[in-house]
Structure 1
Amino acid sequence: MCIHQYGGDIVAFAGDALIALWLVEEKEGPQSQSTYMDNMKKAAFASTWCSLEIQRTLGQYDSSPTEPDRSKKDILTIHITAGFGR
């Protein structure tokens, strides 16, 4: 899945949901705050691009391809949320 390709880790499953994290290490020292913020931005962009790829790939997935009556087909819906911070 693209989560690993974008540097994230799947940390939990709950029914049909999953939780993925993009961890950013915070270090002490000169320019550590600006480096941390740059890494937070990179993680935010990576998780957002990953979410868009998941939505594009699975957002219109037909979960009943063998149903002969195409008016009864079930389309998988994807809901994604993101949160950022410490």
Structure 2
Amino acid sequence: MAGVERPDARLRDVLKVSLYLAVRRWYLTLVSLVVLGSLTLIFTEQPGFAVGLLAAPLLYAVWGNSRYSLRPVLHPDDGAAG
């Protein structure tokens, strides 16, 4: 996501900042990993249910966590406001 929103950034820098923020906001990373793991388990048991009903909301939750974690990098002006 950071590579798309900041195309001028190098991949190495994006990975370094992403790793730092993943460790700094470990609770969001943990929630995202649990959500992805549960989606994987449900997909192996009931693929139609997982893809048809659960994929969109669960992946949206992971996207939201990632977006919130990377907010200081993607929009540095928002960090000073609140």
TM-score (normalised: structure 1): 0.38
**Of Structure 1 and Structure 2, which has the larger fraction of its residues in helix?**
2
Which has more radius of gyration? 1
TM-score (normalised: structure 2): 0.39
The answer to which structure, 1 or 2, has the higher relative contact order (CA under 8 A, 6+ apart) is 2
**Of Structure 1 and Structure 2, which has the larger fraction of its residues in strand?**
1
